[in-house]
Amino acid sequence: MVGASGFVGRTLCQVLLDRGYEVVAAARSARHLPPGVRHHSLGDLTGDVDWRGALRGVTHVVYLAARVHVMNDTHPDPLGAYRALNTDTPLALARAAAAAGVKRLVYLSSVKVNGEESGRPLTEQDPPAPTDPYGVSKWEAEQALLNLGVTTGLDVTVLRPPLVYGPGVRANFLQLITAVQRGVPLPLAAVRNCRSMVYVGNLADAIAFTLHSPVTAGKTFFVADGDDLSTPELIRGVAQALGRPPRLWPVPAWMLHAAGRLLRREGMVRRLTGSLQIDTRRLREAGWVPPFTTQAGLAATVAAHANLAPDWAPLGDGRPWALKPRQRAYLRVRHGLERPLAGALLLLLLPVLLLTALIIRLSSPGPVLFTQLRAGRGHQPYTIFKFRTMRLNAPQLSTEDMRLQGISAVTPVGAFLRRTSLDELPQLLNVLRGEMSFVGPRPALMTQHPVLNGRAAAGVDQLPPGITGLAQVTGRDDLSDDEKVRRDATYLRHVDLLTDLLIIRATLRSVLGGRGTY
């Protein structure tokens, strides 16, 4: 890997180490390399580099190093400076890699190959339109590397990311987080744009995917989270992760552009108000799925910047926990088995369900079922089903919030249903619909932002919510928000068949003992 000590490189090193790769970093210094990475010392990359030692025994090459985009560049030959590191060096490395028998080279390019703005989502088939020396150098490198791959047999894959964010991000994104954290009023409420972004954890996963995928050789791919945001939506997401209200003022776009011209910040205003969207369908059709949601990425980014990560934070660099391949395989198999099992249980328990519904109907006015929006996998809202245990028109609050406020809305029948956990049985419908699992994190309200943000930062939102779970059987409403997230994160790290069976056993003991799981 070239560029292993950089923003993307540090995350990618850890991802590859976790997946069993031996990683060799060709760099001047080993100072910023993660533990476990083997360092191969190199001098100035723009000079005459002998790559043979670095490539000895290497099967795959990732080139991340770049002279990044510089505002108001004062270099006497900007294009030449960009070409030296962004074009000439990776091409020389690719020639040496092909001669050394390397199988695959992944080159990290940029969406700037296609320009600065778009009126619609760009695809890989759109003609390149770089507007600055940085974009030109990346486009020239893409062409030269792909052509070299054709002539030498080296499998070359090019990735074009948009704005990359994550723990340790700098420049404009860091300034935005700082402004929101300090409560600075931002005159961007009236902006109506849409921009693609990619979380560094998703980008690292995509690079790892293209390293071994046979269908990505010789191709160029856009890569992004998939949730394009407007500037106001991004600010609200950052504010939510910080636990602060967004201070957005509506100012017409023409006034923002006039101010940009006056203050010589036209480029910054264009990026804040303009749209730049990419279509990642090609990479997804190749089989790649981003492991982290945008909300998870923002939460981890903000937590790392603001030192908000509590002791359940999953990794030292702030990245959410990524499921291991065996865990992903287990969850796929589990999901395939749960739906028919839920259908069978609904039929088996039909007499109990009908009798419970009749008792609820006769004992208090109101519907039999209680429905409410909850946060599902990726914090996507879904409607949860439960037997109604509260009086009609009870406040839409969590059980613990009502308890803290001294509100008692549970009916006598509802108390029995909760104590025996019979009120949870209709959630079998949610399992049948694929919205829940038998075991998983507790279904959180969409308004429980501390829990949702904590889960996103820890990566827990990769899992579907469960009828029961570790937090449910070990405290539930008696736990603080941080403790709930800590136990959810513990389950995420250890999710497998044995863990699920132990939780189900604990659930049955709790139910049969008359304690319920709340």
Distance, first Cα to last Cα, the chain: 50
Residues carrying an active site annotation: 134
Task: Report how far residue 384's alpha carbon sits from residue 370's, in angstroms, rounded to the nearest whole number.
Answer: 8
pTM: 0.66
Report DSSP letters for 240-270, one per residue: HHHT----B----HHHHHHHHHHTT-HHHHH
In sign, the C-alpha dihedral spanning 113, 115, 116, 122 is negative
Q: Which pLDDT does position 310 carry in this prediction?
A: 45
Which among 4, 53, 59 has a CA at the least distance from the CA of 27? Answer: 4
Report mean pLDDT in 10-residue bins for the chain, 518 residues. 91 89 88 84 83 93 85 71 93 96 97 93 95 94 97 97 90 87 91 95 95 95 95 93 88 91 85 94 95 86 66 48 85 93 95 94 90 86 91 63 60 88 92 94 84 84 91 71 84 89 86 60
Q: Which pLDDT does position 330 carry in this prediction?
A: 92
The helices-and-strands tally (H runs, E runs) of the chain is 20, 13
User: What residues does 375 pair with on adjacent strands?
Assistant: 381, 444
Do the bridges between strand 381-387 and strand 369-375 make them parallel or antiparallel, or are there none, so unpaired?
Answer: antiparallel
Residue 93 Ramachandran class (φ > 0 left, ψ -120 to 50 alpha, else beta)? alpha
Determine the Cα angle at 461 with ends 338 and 493, to 5°.
Answer: 80
Task: Report how far residue 457's alpha carbon sits from residue 333's, in angstroms, rounded to the nearest whole number.
Answer: 26
Q: Which pLDDT does position 316 carry in this prediction?
A: 42
Q: Which pLDDT does position 393 carry in this prediction?
A: 67
Question: Is residue 481 packed enough to be buried (19+ CB in 10 Å), middle (13-18) or exposed (0-12)?
Answer: middle
Which among 409, 413, 417, 475 has a CA at the least distance from the CA of 442? Answer: 475
